[in-house]
Structure 1
Amino acid sequence: MTSDAQVLAAIINALGAPKKIPSHPPKYRRAAVAIIIRIRPDHGRSSAHSSKRRHRQQPQPQAQPRQQTSLSKQPPHAEQPSCLDEIVHPESLDEFFAQTWVQSGVFEILFIERANKRAGDHRWTGHVALPGGKQASPDEDDQETAARETAEEIGLDLADPALFRCVGQLDDRELWTSFGRDFLMVLAPFVYLQLTPKSPPLKPQPDQVASVHWQPLSLFLDRLAHPQWTPMVINLSNKLAPRISRTILRPLFGTMALHSIEMPYKPEFILRYQQELVKDTDMHEKAHPCSFSHSHPPYPPAKTRTVAMIDHYPDWDPGHRPLRLWGLTLQMVADLLELKDGPIQPDIRHKVWDSHRMRKRLDAGHLPGFSQADMHFWVRALLKFHSWQQTEKNKPSESNRVGSWESYYRMVKQAFVFVVLGRATAIAVLVRMLRAPMFRMIQSSVPSVRHSKLLK
């Protein structure tokens, strides 16, 4: 069994009862996403693995006469066993992982690249995400929401037990905007395992999905062993300040560089947009009954519209921009990979930042950086204070894998308050220091002006 197979088996075994968060007012919204994992057969490794296993299981043959060992007596495919000893309906996960093509395959996770839904709305265009969406009224539970949204977006039927199996669920998480200012919804991530070596055909929704990518699990395991920081820069004013004052406060509070991971751009398909000619003959005939008269043209003017065409066999361009995995999607992948070392202990009452544990996560190999020096100082100071406070109170070191980033963003908001107070205090002290010299300078200039007027 490869290291990837061992890691995935450990993750699945560590998936216990998830932490469920009930919806609460004022917005009873819920959403669900699917983390889909497949095993792509590697025929070279599978053949070698089958030969070694068969050689270990079979006893050594006794010496036989030379004339009976002729290769002509053997069938032509005797030494070329099938690479895919597929079990149609594996009863257990142990039986699934015992298959040769699984033990020697390449483990991959599915990601989608969001398309532009509405004209002029580019907030999520090009963002890497997991398939899923908001819960609708027909959905009975979160898992049904994840399956329905996945079928609508990329055409995979997660409800088919012959193709996929839900192996568990990660903890629910609350989604907030602006670092915890406005509540959005509760998100439930589900983990699915593809049971067949051949993936079902994708049927993407062009207005929601721009491309689909299968990324190897080894890429993320390598980033855990050798962290590489690719900054994703955002404006702090967009997260912490009201919409009216964002433009004014943007140069004052600078930017925040979040941790992201670059992934190769190897899509299963891409969307190509082209102009299509449209002829509206009915409209012209209604507007001009005498369509054959010389005063009006016999045919209406041609119209064009933009049509999205799906290219299922795109050419891979090595120079194409890489995909960037960051934010919420990166956090959910990090939650999944964190289970490779065993189950996470239950949440403690006060969620704290555990620097030692968070450095082992995929999404915290490097902490976010800040362009403003005072903002950077206060965030680091609060991190040190919380770590010292945790040690002094002898709190357990394990915290909920969702709550750690929430506590970090709370510290960012606290640092924002300290920065505002610190800058206001510095301005007040500076004004007080300059007030006396400026007052004396004004007083000294007033008599000279009066004396000049008397001379005139």
Structure 2
Amino acid sequence: MSEKPISVVPLLSKALHRIRSTPPRVIASPPTQPRRAAVAILIRVVPAPGGPIPPTNPVTLSEFFELDWVNDPGARPEILFLQRENPAPEDAAMTRIRNTNEAHVAFPGGRTEADDEGGLYTAMRQTWEEIGIDLAERDYTCVGQLDDREITTSLGKRLLMILSPFVFLQLTAHAPPPDPAPSTTLHWTPLASLVSAHEPPKWSTVTVDAASRLAPKHSTALRLLVQVLVGSMQFPAIIVQPSSLPSTTPDGKPNHDILEKVEKGYLSSATRPQKLKLWGLSLGMTLDLMSYMVLPAPSSLHDRSQINSGSSSPISPMLQLPQSGAESMRVDVVAPSLASVFPRFSYPDVNFWIWVFGKRYREVVRGWEASIRGGGTNDRRINWSGSALSTFYAAIRKALIVVIVARALGVLFGVAFAAWWIFGQ
């Protein structure tokens, strides 16, 4: 007999309660770059077919997870992603180079306007404008805020804006239908596809041309030179498996084949099938949410005995990031969103020099781990994630200088040797 899958609802309950009771790390905008943005991470629970009739009156967060229909084995927690035909400005830094065979998903949200009352207002306003869901209605509740995130460019040297993620829960089984913009497609994705050990997430990569991050847009010659000398970068990504999509296209025509293509991991488009990928900032925020379902890793043999007693979350192995630049990092100890933004380069010598110059970064990570192991929770007085990112990006910049100089000297030596061989004999 096959083992019964573990329900995701208790893990979701624990995560949302921890988010509500944990103050987020708020990053103040520097005077030189006051721009901010906010996104809404929306979660719902779909009742089991033929299960108990859900009540229509909204309840509190604690009462919600005590309802019979929520705890029904057939209930399905889902998280909302959306696909934009035209990415929002805050996504531009992560989506400059696209593979036409893949589409990237994100959360509803956008920039904070001058008359917005704060990040929460921005997330709610942008959600209403983008997909027609009014998060101010009684069907929804704001659970809390995840840590602010710095959106940077030029490998961390220039700050673009501060991003604030807010987590919302749909308290009712049925809410008014969304009304997304014509260029936006919604994807309600089962949380089990992201955290279940029985159906682990399918990891992939997103390849980005390094020249798009290192060279000016209008300098074609310099971009070509950087592309040849440095190559490309690969970021971790998860292939998203949506549970449901609109039954009609924006022009009103039915999508008869869309469910079949979704089961294969593809999205039907007007031109060709595309694979949906979750990566970059959106992956980092998703993993931040998932990390609240994970207990700190055991630090001794005595503590490891707790795993067998069931005190360790079953999704711990699911959050291990493949092919990241942080090989020594335990995702269930250090914030998973940190490793999700670390690229690996296509040239092995670039990765080698990053490791050579990464001593300071590794010291920061060890200090972060020691802080978490010592107190059981992250020491929020220290910006560990910011320090780790800045030191890792510093290692990348040093590595790229060494590689580019070495390649340039190699080319000059090769040209000089060829000239001597041809004209010196």
Considering only aligned residues, what root-mean-square deviation do their CA atoms show, in Å? 3.8
Query: Equivalents in 2 of 1:364, 1:422: separation in Å?
Result: 28
Q: Deviation of residue 12 (structure 1)? A: 1.5
> Counterpart of 2:236 in 1: which secondary structure?
strand
**Residue identity in the other structure for 1:163:** D
- Pick one of 395, 404, 414 that aligns with 1:411: 395
**Residue identity in the other structure for 1:108:** E
- Pick one of 391, 414, 420 that aligns with 1:438: 420
Q: Deviation of residue 22 (structure 1)? A: 1.7
1:107 maps to: 77
1:329 maps to: 282
8 Å contact from structure 1 (residues 147, 158) kept in 2: yes
Kindly indicate whether residue 16 of structure 2 is the aligned counterpart of residue 12 of structure 1. yes
Measured against aligned partners, the alpha-carbon deviations of 1:429-456 in whole angstroms (never above 9, x if no partner) come to: 6678x49x939973xx6xxxxxxxxxxx
Q: Deviation of residue 390 (structure 1)? A: 6.2
Q: Which has the larger radius of gyration?
A: 1
2:41 maps to: 35
Query: Equivalents in 2 of 1:7, 1:316: separation in Å?
Result: 30
Q: Deviation of residue 357 (structure 1)? A: 2.0
- Pick one of 52, 55, 59 that aligns with 1:86: 55
Measured against aligned partners, the alpha-carbon deviations of 1:296-349 in whole angstroms (never above 9, x if no partner) come to: xxxxxxxxxxxx5256876424234331111110011011111112599xxxxx
Measured against aligned partners, the alpha-carbon deviations of 1:171-193 in whole angstroms (never above 9, x if no partner) come to: 11111123223321111000000
Q: Cα 1:389–1:187, aligned 2, differ >3 Å: closer, same or farther?
A: closer
1:198 maps to: 174
> Counterpart of 1:43 in 2: which secondary structure?
coil
Q: Cα 1:326–1:224, aligned 2, differ >3 Å: closer, same or farther?
A: farther
Using structure 1 for the length normalisation, give the TM-score. 0.67
Give runs of aligned pairs for residues 42-441 of structure 1, distance below 5 A.
42-43=48-49, 46=51, 83-86=52-55, 88-90=57-59, 92-104=60-72, 105-116=75-86, 126-160=103-137, 162-207=138-183, 209=184, 211-222=185-196, 226=200, 228-243=202-217, 244=219, 245-265=222-242, 267-269=244-246, 272=249, 309=251, 315-319=257-261, 320=266, 321-342=274-295, 355-358=328-331, 361=336, 364=339, 368-383=343-358, 386-387=361-362, 396=371, 400=384, 404-405=388-389, 407-426=391-410, 434=417, 438=420
Q: Cα 1:189–1:414, aligned 2, differ >3 Å: closer, same or farther?
A: same
8 Å contact from structure 1 (residues 258, 369) kept in 2: yes
Q: Deviation of residue 30 (structure 1)? A: 1.1
Q: Cα 1:87–1:420, aligned 2, differ >3 Å: closer, same or farther?
A: same
Query: Equivalents in 1 of 2:119, 2:256: separation in Å?
Result: 34
> Counterpart of 1:14 in 2: which secondary structure?
helix
Identity of aligned residues (%): 33
8 Å contact from structure 1 (residues 229, 261) kept in 2: yes
8 Å contact from structure 2 (residues 111, 122) kept in 1: yes
Query: Which runs of 5 or more structure 2 residues have no equivalent in the other structure?
Result: 267-273, 298-324, 373-377
**Residue identity in the other structure for 2:58:** H
Using structure 2 for the length normalisation, give the TM-score. 0.72
Query: Equivalents in 2 of 1:203, 1:394: separation in Å?
Result: 44
